[in-house]
Chains A and B, each alone.
Chain A
Amino acid sequence: QLQLQESGPGLVKPSETLSLTCTVSGGSISSYFWSWIRQPPGKGLEWIGSIYYSGSTYYNPSLKSRATISQDTSKKQFSLKLTSVTAADTAVYYCARRGGYPHAFDMWGQGTMVTVSS
């Protein structure tokens, strides 16, 4: 069964770069969009961006200038870099698959909490 697992530092200093990796296991990385979605404490979900297995990337316009998503298909991993972070970037970060069902995020990782604080 397909599983996604986020990994990365749980604490990042203000103005620095947040870096997370999602490892996909139990299934193929081909023919899907692989996405990052975040959820600030007590708040709703926010799509950050997605990468197609071919390498094309798509970003939330509100974060586009700070977010970069890349992938290593040989390792079945995709990554998020978010620059110039502030306390507003404190959130649970989820990686998710989009496309198992049309235009829906059908498989999710368990999420990883990232706190931005000095």
Chain B
Amino acid sequence: QSALTQPPSASGSPGQSVTISCTGTSSDVGGYNYVSWYQQHPGKAPKLMIFEVSQRPSGVPDRFSGSKSGNTASLTVSGLQAEDEADYYCSSYAGSNNFGVFGGGTKLTVL
């Protein structure tokens, strides 16, 4: 059982927006603004898409955005494209003894 809870699947049509949630506790998501999101295509390593809740690394399209409210963080993908179809994982810092608790992952399907 993963520390953070994500829906197993999400879907949307090209051009639409989809939001993926990530629920933790006050000890992780709710306690720090250090939520990150990763995209993973089949057979590939994860790729950092969002850090510090809502910041995008260099090179990540601005179609990807993040937010947080209380113990729940969210990733929104706007203007869905075929290449966005992948698994998405959230992660949160949970203190000096736990650098990275992960969610179970959400499979995003572009219809």
B residues in contact with A44, CB < 8 Å: 2, 89, 102-105
Interface contact B45-A108, CB-CB below 8 Å: yes
Interface contact B45-A110, CB-CB below 8 Å: yes
Interface size on B, residues (CB 8 A): 27
Complex-state Cα separation, A3 to B51, whole angstroms: 20
Best-buried of B46, B89, B97 by chain A (most CB within 10 Å): B46
Complex-state Cα separation, A57 to B104, whole angstroms: 25
Nearest residue, chain A, Cβ from B37: A104
Complex-state Cα separation, A46 to B104, whole angstroms: 9
Given known A44-B103, A58-B96, A108-B45, contact A103–B38 (CB-CB < 8 A)? no
> Per-residue 0/1 for B85-106: is the Cβ within 8 Å of any A Cβ (1 yes, 0 no)?
0000101010011111111110
A-B contact pairs, 23 of them (CB 8 A): A33-B99, A44-B104, A44-B105, A46-B102, A47-B91, A47-B98, A47-B101, A47-B102, A61-B98, A101-B52, A101-B55, A102-B34, A102-B52, A103-B32, A103-B36, A103-B99, A104-B34, A106-B48, A106-B51, A108-B45, A108-B47, A110-B44, A111-B45
Interface pairs A-B: 9 shortest CB-CB: A47-B100, A104-B51, A103-B34, A108-B45, A104-B36, A101-B51, A45-B102, A44-B104, A103-B93
